[in-house]
Each structure stands twice: as C-alpha cells, then as structure tokens.
Copies of this chain bind each other. A is one copy, B any other.
C-alpha cells in the first residue's frame, strides 16, 4: 500500500482501481493518498453527460469514447447510478451493457452507486476524477442520470457538460428549468430519427436563444442531433466539445471555472471531514445516544444541546 500512489502515477491500472476502492470505502489514509496525487491533476478534460433515464446517455458515452480512442486519447468513464428508489431498474441494465462494450485497456470504467447520500457521492465522484486524472487519462466522462439537484452538483465537476434529451420522453421546454440552462454547454437531441425530434430541436434552440439574450453569455450553446445507436452525429458532437474546450482555454474561462470548482470541492470535503470527526470524537462512546435519551425524556431539547456542543467546539476561536 506504501507504493500505491507512485504506481498509479506510473500507470498501473490495478493500482488505480485499488486506490479508487480505498477512497470509496473511506479508508483512513484516503486524504493522504489524495493529497499525494493532487499535484499531478488538472490535465484531463472532464466531460459531463446528463439527462433523464431513457435518453440513451450510455450509448452516447460508448460512441464518444470510440471517437476519442480513434484519436489515440485515453478515456476514464465514471457512471453514476443514483439508485433512486423512484427510478426504474433500467439503469443497472445500461451499466452492464456498457461494461461489456470495451475490451480496451485504455478505457477504464467505474460504476458508482449512491449509498443513500448523494452529497457524499458528489464528493467521491470528484475524488475518482482526480485519481483518473493523475493516472494520466486524457478524457474523463462522468455520466449521470439527471433527476435532481444533486446530480446537477455531480455534473458541476465537469469542464464541459452535455445535456441529452430525446423525443417522446416528455422532455419538452417545460422540463428545462433554470438549473439545466445553467449547466448545459451543449445540448444533444439523441434518438433524432424518432418523430418529434425536429420539434424538440426547435424548442430547445428557441429556449437557448431567449436565455442568451437575457444573460449575454459569451458561449453560444449548440443544439446537436445524434442517433447514438447508429453512430450518427457523434463525431460532430466530439468536435463541438473540442470547440467548447478551446473556448474555455482561450477566453480565460477555464481558470475561473476551475477556481470555483476547487472552492466547492474543498468546501464539501471540509464539511464531510468535520462531520466525520464530530461523530467519531465528540459523539463516540454512546454519548450521542445518551443525549437522545435525555431529549426523549424531555430533560433536554435538541436545539439547545446542539448550540452547546457547537459553542464548546468553537470556543477557542
């Protein structure tokens, strides 16, 4: 384990997989390992792909990966499965299919499922991006099912975010609320051979133009059509991503975006570490359960108790 970080930096796939597992399992040396790889990060381009279930994100990810591989670029894929209790079981099938699609050592796929804590997942996703980046992946694709604010937070780790829509899923102008407009650098209307595709393209374009008039954004958000299963439009999609990447670099926006991302990532890391320490150090040995007993018995109330704990903790500041 001592040599894990050097091995990752030297390109050992096994070491990378092992480090990811350690970090996911919140190994006590996670921070140390991640601190050691951090100076070697910042080279990969992180591509986020999000959209409702059924839009064909996984197939699109497959095809984008194939295009990048033709260019001899290496790819890491992080497939985030929110395992929402209210979304169907189709997700798992997608994952299995995707894992079968590559026998290529330069494509590394990692599936990540929530363990009841999407906030924590956003954090782990960031860590896994850093590990793949330090390993030397040219591209890291983060694929999420876009069903809520938390998935949007995960996608915020990306440099370029592709929002995938498809006709016939109720993905109309109604579903494109402010949050989506904020994160989308590119729209893809997938399954564009289906009826309703052109109407959806028009609708999204109008919405994008309205938004551009209000916000005066320097980037013109493209709306592209693909039929991922038939590999139609995926080459153009990758070119549009290239174009966005160049825009980020040349406009100086990449710097700003990465500063803001670093701030968010550091902040959530800090919050999580503090929570963990509170649980272990302050509330260990059954002391927290004793407090709950006191609250239930009406000897204490949660609000005043929390106020007291926090005041003690911060009293020396």
* Any B CB within 8 A of the CB of A196: no
The residues of B that contact A301 with a CB separation of less than 8 Å are 34-35, 38-39
Residue of B nearest to A291 (CB): B266
The residues of B that contact A310 with a CB separation of less than 8 Å are 270, 273-274, 277
Given contacts A263-B289, A302-B266, contact A317 B86 (CB under 8 A): no
Is A277 a contact of B313 with CB atoms below 8 Å? Answer: yes
The residues of B that contact A291 with a CB separation of less than 8 Å are 266
Q: Which chain A residues (269-300) contact chain B, with CB distance < 8 Å?
A: 269-271, 273-275, 277-279, 281-282, 288-289, 291-292, 295-296, 298
A–B Cβ pairs within 8 angstroms, 18 of them: A31-B303, A31-B307, A34-B301, A35-B303, A82-B149, A85-B177, A86-B180, A87-B147, A87-B175, A118-B148, A259-B292, A265-B302, A266-B295, A267-B288, A269-B306, A273-B306, A273-B310, A316-B316
Contact of A281 among B34, B147, B269, B317 (CB under 8 A): B317
* Any B CB within 8 A of the CB of A132: no
The residues of B that contact A262 with a CB separation of less than 8 Å are 292, 295-296, 302
Is B303 a contact of A32 with CB atoms below 8 Å? Answer: yes
* Any B CB within 8 A of the CB of A221: no
* Any B CB within 8 A of the CB of A305: yes
* Any B CB within 8 A of the CB of A232: no
Instruction: Tell me how far the C-beta of A137 lies from the nearest C-beta in chain B, rounded to whole angstroms.
Output: 19
* Any B CB within 8 A of the CB of A111: no
The residues of B that contact A35 with a CB separation of less than 8 Å are 301-304, 307
Instruction: Tell me how far the C-beta of A188 lies from the nearest C-beta in chain B, rounded to whole angstroms.
Output: 15
Contact of A271 among B34, B86, B275 (CB under 8 A): B275
The residues of B that contact A277 with a CB separation of less than 8 Å are 310, 313-314
* Any B CB within 8 A of the CB of A189: no
* Any B CB within 8 A of the CB of A60: no
Is B289 a contact of A116 with CB atoms below 8 Å? Answer: no
Instruction: Tell me how far the C-beta of A94 lies from the nearest C-beta in chain B, rounded to whole angstroms.
Output: 14
Per the bound structure, the CA–CA distance linking A117 and B277 in Å amounts to: 22
